[in-house]
Amino acid sequence: MVKPFDTQPGIQSVVSGYTGGHTVNPTYTEVASHTTGHTEAVKITFDPSIITYDQLVSIYWRQTDPTDASGQFQDRGDSYRPVIYVNGPEQRRIATASKEKLAASGQFDAPIVTQIEDAQPFYPAEEEHQDFYRRNPFRYQIEEMGGREAFIQEHWQ
């Protein structure tokens, strides 16, 4: 989820990490064990005079399968569930309206199951998990071909 945001004008930083669980400072191994309650997430810092929160939500939808509550593409389990974490009522309003619009569009045969939840403490992932698409371009491309790329082409382009 880093690359689609990282390449947009107005994005100041995209940090990979974990949020929404009960373990303080979890590691990737702990989160991957599905025992921490955390979801893998990205924390995005942006300049709202260049890119709006509404635009960020739109980019998010186009990277996920919003009908799959059990993970995303080859990544399975609660730590990969689709969630939009919001900071405050305005972000919640925008995310909810966007989700409702997507659900009403008829674009998907199944219900939109992406959750919208209040932001929780965010724990940055280990350094080797930051900027994965840049550090591991071949592996990143292989993982993209694991379902995400075809899904995006079928549903969004």
> What domains can you pick out in the chain, each with its CATH number?
2-142 (3.30.1060.10)
Beta strands in 3-108 (DSSP E): 11-19, 39-46, 71-72, 75-76, 83-86
Global confidence as pTM: 0.88
> Do residues 98 and 54 make contact, with C-beta atoms less than 8 angstroms apart?
yes
In this structure, the number of other CB atoms found within 10 A of the CB of residue 76 comes to: 13
Predicted pLDDT at 116: 98
Predicted pLDDT at 42: 97
Sequential pLDDT tens for the chain (157 residues): 888 999 999 999 999 999 999 999 999 999 999 999 999 999 999 999 999 999 999 999 998 999 999 888 777 888 889 999 999 999 999 999 999 999 999 999 999 999 999 999 999 999 988 887 778 777 777 776 667 788 888 888 6
